[in-house]
């Protein structure tokens, strides 16, 4: 049993293509993935706009809403909710140089249109969260964009989204790099600062992904804590990452179990989820995984979260207090390691 509700995105079950090789698994239809997510134990699905409405750029407003309604029915049939919709702005030829921060006003207009349509789709799916993973809102060539203007352009774009729909909440998913070299909004602290520059800071928050924090050289548990302390942690993407390499999206806890334990500990101790927040998993199967077992990373991540919740429930706070009073952190550290390692 878990105290959390869990969510996952359809992109987490994928064809295995990487920067140096083609697909190795067949595509699985969305409806099949949704059925399987329910079976595995998920409560909600996270969507890119075009996961819900493929080829949306070529569709009318009415057709987009109709497609979204159909997706909602599939969710309802399986007893699943939609957690959020995110405009997929990093794939389109019009957003090669980013969306909201592109130097070309036509690109910026297209990016905003996708954000507005994502809000419409979210509305049809019955959710009030729009996630902005600002994938290409940064530079490959440092001098190619004005960084101050770019930050203000992101704020202006978010203002337009807030005006477009009075109920929508915008969550910035921060990441320091990849696919760009340097991002304009790399950490939770940046997202929170940015939220206060918008016209309605109460509706702008953050989504913390463990791997993205590690790529920034930061501790994901402390990033989670910073978000919670500011009442801005409205979603998480738990996963793991082996140091500063390409974005790995590994099964939660497989690289740094103590860091995973501490992420769960902070979430549990602060009653994360009490306002309906989900624990999202942004984990990818290894490229080597055969198609007949390509959901294994999801089962494993869920199992690891639940096992760590159990460890957190066993954590002896009075022993911690004693160690704090005696300033005996060697004892505390050994206690934590024994707790995690014992059967």
| Residue from 6, 116, 133, 272 binding ligand 3MF (CB under 6 A) | 133
* Catalytic machinery residues: 48, 51
| Residue from 203, 232, 237, 250 binding Mg ion (CB under 5 A) | 237
Q: How far is the CB of 282 from Mg ion (least distance, A)?
A: 4
| Residue from 247, 255, 277, 309 binding ligand 3MF (CB under 6 A) | 247
| Residue 328: CB atoms within 10 Å | 13
Which residue from 205, 132, 120, 121 is spatially nearest to 164, judged by alpha carbons?
A: 120
Residue 136 found at the interface with ligand 3MF (CB under 6 A): no
Binding mask 2-41 for ligand 3MF (x = CB under 6 A): ---------x------------------------------
Residue 86 found at the interface with ligand 3MF (CB under 6 A): yes
Residue 100 found at the interface with ligand 3MF (CB under 6 A): no
Residue 225 to residue 206: CA distance in whole angstroms: 12
Q: What is the footprint of ligand 3MF within residues 253-282 (CB under 6 A)?
A: 282
Q: Which is nearer to ligand 3MF, 175 or 232 (CB)?
A: 175
Q: How many residues bind Mg ion (CB under 5 A)?
A: 3
| Residue 298: CB atoms within 10 Å | 24
Q: Which of ligand 3MF, Mg ion, none sits in contact with 11, Cβ below 5 to 8 A by type? A: ligand 3MF
271 vs 209, 258, 303, 317, CA distance in Å?
18, 20, 20, 16
Token representation of residue 36: 């399987």
Residue 282 found at the interface with Mg ion (CB under 5 A): yes
Residue 250 found at the interface with Mg ion (CB under 5 A): no
User: For helices 317-326 and 329-341, what crossing angle results, to 10°?
Assistant: 150
Token representation of residue 139: 């530079």
| Residue from 49, 120, 137, 173 binding ligand 3MF (CB under 6 A) | 173
Token representation of residue 111: 């990016």
- β 169-173/204-209 pair status: parallel
Q: Is 70 helix (H, G, I), strand (E, B) or coil?
A: helix
Token representation of residue 144: 């190619």
Q: Which window, 58-66, 83-91, 231-239, 308-316, contacts Mg ion (CB under 5 A)?
A: 231-239
Which residue from 66, 67, 62, 107 is spatially nearest to 89, judged by alpha carbons?
A: 107
Q: How many residues bind ligand 3MF (CB under 6 A)?
A: 10
Residue 270 to residue 142: CA distance in whole angstroms: 39
Residue 250 carries which DSSP code? B
Q: Which of Mg ion, ligand 3MF, none sits in contact with 86, Cβ below 5 to 8 A by type? A: ligand 3MF
Token representation of residue 95: 């957003």
Residue 249 found at the interface with Mg ion (CB under 5 A): no
Q: How far is the CB of 173 from ligand 3MF (least distance, A)?
A: 5
Q: Which is nearer to ligand 3MF, 176 or 253 (CB)?
A: 176
Q: What are the backbone dihedrals phi and psi of residue 258, each rounded to the nearest 5 degrees, phi first? A: -65, -40
Chain contacts with ligand 3MF (rule: CB under 6 A): 11, 86, 131, 133, 173, 175, 209, 237, 247, 282
Residue ranges binding Mg ion (CB under 5 A): 209, 237, 282
């Amino acid at each position: 049993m878990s105290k959390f509700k869990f969510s996952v995105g359809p992109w987490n079950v994928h064809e295995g293509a990487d920067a140096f090789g083609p697909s190795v698994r067949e595509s699985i239809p969305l409806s099949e993935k949704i059925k399987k997510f329910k079976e595995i134990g998920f409560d909600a699905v996270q969507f890119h706009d075009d996961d819900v409405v493929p080829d949306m750029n070529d569709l009318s407003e009415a057709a987009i809403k109709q497609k979204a309604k159909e997706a909602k029915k599939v969710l309802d049939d399986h007893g699943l909710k939609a957690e959020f919709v995110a405009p997929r702005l990093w794939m389109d030829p019009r957003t090669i140089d980013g969306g909201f921060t592109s130097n070309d006003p036509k690109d910026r207009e297209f990016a905003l249109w996708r954000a507005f349509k994502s809000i419409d789709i979210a509305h049809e799916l019955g959710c009030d969260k729009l996630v902005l993973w600002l994938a290409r809102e940064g530079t490959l060539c440092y001098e190619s964009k004005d960084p101050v203007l770019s930050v203000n352009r992101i704020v202006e774009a978010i203002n337009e989204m807030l005006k477009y729909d009075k109920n929508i909440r915008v969550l910035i998913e921060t990441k320091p790099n990849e696919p760009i070299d340097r991002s304009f909004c790399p950490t939770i602290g940046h997202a929170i600062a940015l939220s206060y520059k918008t016209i309605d800071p109460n509706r702008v928050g953050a989504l913390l992904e463990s791997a993205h924090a590690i790529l920034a050289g930061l501790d994901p548990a402390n990033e989670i804590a910073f978000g919670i302390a500011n009442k801005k942690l409205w979603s998480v993407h738990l996963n793991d990452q082996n140091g500063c390499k390409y974005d790995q999206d590994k099964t939660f806890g497989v690289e740094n179990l103590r860091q995973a334990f501490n992420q769960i500990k902070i979430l549990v101790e602060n009653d994360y989820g009490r306002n309906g927040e989900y624990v999202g998993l942004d984990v990818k199967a290894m490229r080597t995984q055969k198609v007949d077992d390509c959901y294994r990373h999801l089962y494993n991540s869920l199992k690891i979260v639940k096992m760590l919740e159990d460890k957190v429930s066993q954590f002896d706070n009075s022993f911690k207090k004693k160690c704090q009073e005696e300033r005996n952190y060697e004892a505390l550290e050994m206690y934590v390691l024994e707790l995690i390692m014992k059967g």
